[in-house]
C-alpha cells in the first residue's frame, strides 16, 4: 500500500465559496461563522471575496465582514481577488494570502468574470507583481480543471497551458478546481502527474466538489500521490453561480472524519467542527449535503436494545 502523508493542510472555504451560491446571510452571521471555524483547529480559512457586488451579491459585504472578525494568530486567512481592484482592496484590508481564479474553459471564464481565459492570463503578471509588492502571496486556482458545464471535456493540455503561463507570471502556488464535480480518481492521477512533471517545484492544492459523488474518492487518489493540501467547505456548502448543476464542495467534516480514521492528521476537532456545520446549516436555512453531519462521527453509538 502506498504510504500516505502523515498530515494534510485543509483550507476551509465555507465562508466564501460555501456561501456564494446561497441567499445572502447577515454580515454578523458570516463573522460568527468565521470565528467559530477558527476555533476548531483549522489553520487556513478563505474568509471573503473582493468581487464587484453586482457579480456576486453574496460577497458585497466583504469589507464589513473582515472588519468584524477577530483574527487568531494560529489561522491564516485568505481572500479571493478577481482583478486589480479586488487585489488592492484585499491588500488594504490586510490580507497576505490572495487567490485568483482563471478557468481552463474559455466559456466558463467568460461567464464567471466576463473575460476570456487568455485575457485573464495576460493580466496575471501585474497581479502577481502587485501582490508581492504588497507583501502578499498569490495563488492561481485553475477552475474547470476536469471539465466544464458548457464545453464538456477540458483537455489536460489546456490546463497545462494555463499553468505554464501562471508559473511564468510569478504565482506562488497552484490549485485545481473540480468546478462541477467531473473528476474521477484516474483523471486526478493524470492531471497531478502531468503538472508535477512539467512544474516539479510548484506547490499544488486541490479543490473538489461532490456533485457526482466522487469527492472523497478523489481526495484518496490524490493522497496516494502525496498531495497534502485540500480545500473543503463546512457542511458541504457551495457551488459556482456560473456552473449549472455544480452542487456543494466536499464537506470539511467528511474529509476530517475519513482522514483521521486513516491515520492522517488534520489538526481539526471533529466534534467542534460538526457544531459549526450545524450552525452553517441553520444560517443558510436548508438541509446541508454533509453525510457526517447527519450521521455523526464514526465512534457515535446508540443505546443497545434491551435484552429479552
* Domain CATH for 214: 3.20.20.70
> Whole domain around residue 85: which residue ranges?
9-295
Predicted pLDDT of residue 180: 87
Predicted pLDDT of residue 241: 65
The answer as to whether 2 is a domain residue is no
Predicted pLDDT of residue 298: 86
The answer as to whether 307 is a domain residue is no
Neighbours of 69 (CB within 10 A): 20
Predicted pLDDT of residue 1: 63
**171/138 Cα distance (integer angstroms):** 5
* Number of domains the chain is built from: 1
Task: For the chain, list the strands marked E by DSSP.
Answer: 9-12, 44-49, 76-80, 97-103, 137-143, 173-177, 204-207, 229-232
Interacting residues of 98 by C-beta distance below 8 A, sequence separation 6+ = 78, 79, 80, 81, 87, 90, 91, 131, 136, 137, 138, 139
- As to burial, measured by CB atoms within 10 angstroms (0-12 exposed, 13-18 middle, 19+ buried), residue 272 is middle
Predicted pLDDT of residue 295: 93
Catalytic residue, from 45, 81, 182, 240: name it: 240
Predicted pLDDT of residue 17: 93
Predicted pLDDT of residue 299: 84
The answer as to whether 208 is a domain residue is yes
**262/71 Cα distance (integer angstroms):** 31
The cell numbers describing 266, all together, are 488534520
The answer as to whether 302 is a domain residue is no
240 is catalytic: yes
The answer as to whether 304 is a domain residue is no
Under-70 pLDDT residues of the chain: 1, 240-246
Predicted pLDDT of residue 306: 83
The answer as to whether 23 is a domain residue is yes
The answer as to whether 305 is a domain residue is no
| Residue 296: CA count within 13 A, CB half-sphere | 4
Residue pLDDT, tens place only, 186-217 = 999 999 999 999 999 999 999 999 999 999 99
Say what percent of the chain tops pLDDT 70. 97
**218/246 Cα distance (integer angstroms):** 16
| β partners of residue 97 | 78, 137
Predicted pLDDT of residue 243: 63
Predicted pLDDT of residue 11: 98
**279/299 Cα distance (integer angstroms):** 22
Amino acid at each position: 500500500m502506498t504510504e500516505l502523508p502523515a498530515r494534510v493542510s485543509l483550507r476551509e472555504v465555507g465562508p466564501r465559496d460555501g456561501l456564494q451560491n446561497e441567499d445572502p446571510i447577515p454580515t454578523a452571521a458570516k463573522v460568527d461563522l468565521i470565528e467559530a471555524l477558527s476555533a476548531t483547529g483549522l489553520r487556513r480559512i478563505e474568509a471573503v471575496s473582493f468581487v464587484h457586488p453586482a457579480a456576486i451579491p453574496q460577497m458585497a459585504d466583504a469589507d464589513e465582514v473582515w472588519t468584524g472578525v477577530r483574527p487568531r494568530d494560529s489561522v491564516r486567512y485568505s481572500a479571493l481577488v478577481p482583478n486589480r481592484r479586488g487585489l488592492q482592496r484585499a491588500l488594504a484590508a490586510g490580507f497576505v494570502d490572495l487567490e485568483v481564479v482563471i478557468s481552463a474553459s474559455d466559456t466558463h471564464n467568460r461567464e464567471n468574470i466576463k473575460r476570456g481565459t487568455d485575457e485573464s492570463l495576460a493580466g496575471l503578471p501585474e497581479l502577481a507583481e502587485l501582490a508581492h509588492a504588497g507583501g502578499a502571496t498569490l495563488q492561481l486556482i485553475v477552475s474547470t480543471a476536469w471539465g466544464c458545464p458548457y464545453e464538456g471535456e477540458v483537455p489536460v493540455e489546456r490546463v497545462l497551458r494555463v499553468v505554464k503561463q501562471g508559473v511564468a507570471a510569478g504565482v506562488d502556488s497552484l490549485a485545481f478546481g473540480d468546478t462541477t464535480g467531473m473528476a474521477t480518481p484516474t483523471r486526478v492521477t493524470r492531471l497531478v502527474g502531468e503538472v508535477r512533471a512539467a512544474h516539479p517545484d510548484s506547490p499544488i492544492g486541490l479543490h473538489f466538489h461532490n456533485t457526482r459523488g466522487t469527492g472523497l474518492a478523489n481526495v484518496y487518489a490524490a493522497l496516494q500521490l502525496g498531495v497534502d493540501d485540500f480545500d473543503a467547505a463546512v457542511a458541504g456548502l457551495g457551488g459556482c453561480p456560473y456552473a449549472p448543476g455544480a452542487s456543494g464542495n466536499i464537506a470539511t467534516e467528511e474529509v476530517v472524519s475519513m482522514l483521521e480514521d486513516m491515520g492522517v492528521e488534520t489538526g481539526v476537532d471533529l466534534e467542534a467542527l460538526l457544531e459549526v456545520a450545524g450552525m452553517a446549516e441553520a444560517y443558510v436555512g436548508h438541509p446541508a449535503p454533509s453525510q457526517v453531519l447527519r450521521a455523526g462521527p464514526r465512534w457515535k453509538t446508540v443505546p443497545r436494545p434491551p435484552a429479552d
